[in-house]
Homo-oligomer: A and B are copies of this chain.
Amino acid sequence: MLIGELAERAGTSPRTLRYYEEHGLVRAGRDANGYRQYDDGELRVVHEIRTLLASGFGLDDIRPFVECLRAGNSAGHVCPDSVAVLRRKIAEVDDYLGQLTEVRQRLHDQLDQALENRSDPQETRCRTRR
């Protein structure tokens, strides 16, 4: 499988695949003419990468998952290193969720305050839900 085919099958671009390779995530052999030749298993690797990227992981965080897959495991997250990253990421997400919640509260307070100072005090307050 050449790079264009893998890119299309994985829903991404050749440029992106080369970038992953450059960062040690995707592996490719070479044809006699220098073209990258991909193993069928790489499609799964690329899917794993894109899924984790979409979840907010960085490429460095993803490496353990790929190595886990490459080691023959059924899923990328069953290895100790992956689990460690998983725990760390969950903690990060939790932390970020907390911060965002605080920010949301502040913004709501400001909005309420701005609406209260409005010149039409027909309804005392209009607090939005959630």
Contact = CB atoms under 8 A, between A and B. Distances in A.
Interface residues of A, number: 29
A107 B65 CA distance: 13
Interface string A65-101: 0000000000101100011001101100110110011
A82 B130 contact: no
Contact of A86 (B90, B101, B107): B107
Nearest to A74: B117
A55 interface: yes
A30 B63 CA distance: 53
A9 interface: no
Contact of A114 (B56, B77, B103, B114): B77
A82 B93 CA distance: 29
A110 B115 CA distance: 44
B107 A89 contact: yes
B78 A93 contact: no
19 contacts: A75-B110, A77-B110, A78-B117, A83-B111, A83-B114, A83-B115, A86-B110, A86-B111, A87-B111, A90-B104, A90-B107, A90-B111, A93-B100, A93-B103, A93-B104, A94-B130, A97-B101, A97-B104, A100-B100
